[in-house]
Structure 1
Amino acid sequence: MLKAGEELDMRINELKKYDTITIDNLKEIIDTHLFLTNVFSDISGHNNRSLASKYLHFHVPNMFYIFDSRAIQGAKSYVMSDKQLRASLAPFGDKEYIELVIRLFTFQEHVKSQFGMTVTPRVIDSFLLNY
């Protein structure tokens, strides 16, 4: 368990060097989420992707979307999934979290291109909670 904690700290510190989610760091984000989900699974025997996303969002709020039912529902209502991006990320993470990340990253990029604004995962999460 100590080794997992050290690796998690290293991964979190690596992700803190980024200001925002980009196409270039998506694999690292997805992989870190899968790593922590697996650690939680080893401890509890349950798939805790939601807990992993909340933990990582707390430590690196600009880099992780929160996985919960409202976010999933809202993301599906607003954004189509990108099949090419899904295929490129599939080897690096959990299928369900990847699906959410693709939709919310696509939404984030759309807002940036249409309105010149970079929205954070926290802003997107607040928007989806009010959906």
Structure 2
Amino acid sequence: MNYTTKQLIDRIEHFAVSDWDISNQILYKMCEEYPSNKDHQAILAKTLIIGRTYAASIERRKVKNTIEDVQPVATIINDDFYVNHVVPIFQGLDLDQYISEIKNWGNIPLVSLSDEQITKVLTLHKILSGAFEKETGLQKRSFASKYLHFHLPRIYFIYDSRAYAALNLVLKEVKPQGKRIVKTDQADQEYASFFMKCLRVLDYYKTVDENLPITARQLDNLLIEIANQSLRIGK
């Protein structure tokens, strides 16, 4: 059955679960059991499995203004790229310290985060998304959001172009009051815009029913369904 965007928005409680819950739970559990971003095997497993599962493979590179699923460097096979490039880059980022600081913020509503906290959340995303630009020619914006989401599921929203398009459709329907702006040069501006728009949607649901706790995962499920619905009806 097809629903309008507004009908899907109004059915937000239904998006607490999805057909992909077991798949996602496996990824959450992997990050819980192997939280280290220093251990080379943990890095290899998490980057490969999350990237491939969520169509954000880290080895994708920019070649002559196109994006190709090929070797990151012509003379480097994918296994060597992960072992010799991805692992050292992760080990040099000190992600575990950032994640440890941010993790407890998931115990409060996202809309209640202070500007300083949001800045740190966005800074960590930028650190990870920009870390591979030299190797691939791309900001790994989508990969970073997905990788961080599975480590900090109550903090990070999953970004990709389809989710952003769906989010803009949601905002056209709900028109939440106010527009919170956090000014920082420490963020990837595309993801920062997406993140703040997601907070506006969560704030909208809070005004509708303050006892209706909408999570980042619920919102992601909603955005996926809106994007899929647009494909089904050919928009």
What TM-score, normalized to structure 1? Answer: 0.86
Contiguous gaps of at least 5 residues in structure 1: none
Give the counterpart letter for 1:49 in structure 2: R
Tell me if 1:127 matches 2:222. Answer: yes
In structure 2, the partner of 1:114 is 208
Asked whether the equivalents of residues 71 and 129 of structure 1 are also in contact (C-alpha less than 8 Å), the reply is yes
- Is 2:107 the partner of 1:13? no
1:3 aligns with 2:92: yes
Aligned-partner residue type, residue 62 of structure 1: R
Tell me by how many angstroms 1:40 deviates: 2.5
Given the alignment of the two structures, is residue 53 of structure 1 paired with residue 142 of structure 2, yes or no?
no
Which residue matches 2:31?
A: none
Q: Over aligned residues, Cα RMSD in angstroms?
A: 1.9
Larger Rg: 2
Unaligned runs of 5+ in 2: 1-88, 227-235
Taking only the aligned residue pairs, the percentage that are identical comes to 27
Partners of 1:43 and 1:57 in 2: how far apart? 23
Q: CA deviation at 1:92?
A: 2.5
Give the TM-score normalised by the residue count of structure 2: 0.50
Greater fraction of residues in helix: 1
How many Å apart are 1:84 and its aligned residue? 5.3
| Per-residue Cα deviation, 1:19-45 (whole angstroms, up to 9, x for no partner) | 242331211111110111122324433
2:119 equivalent among 15, 21, 27: 27
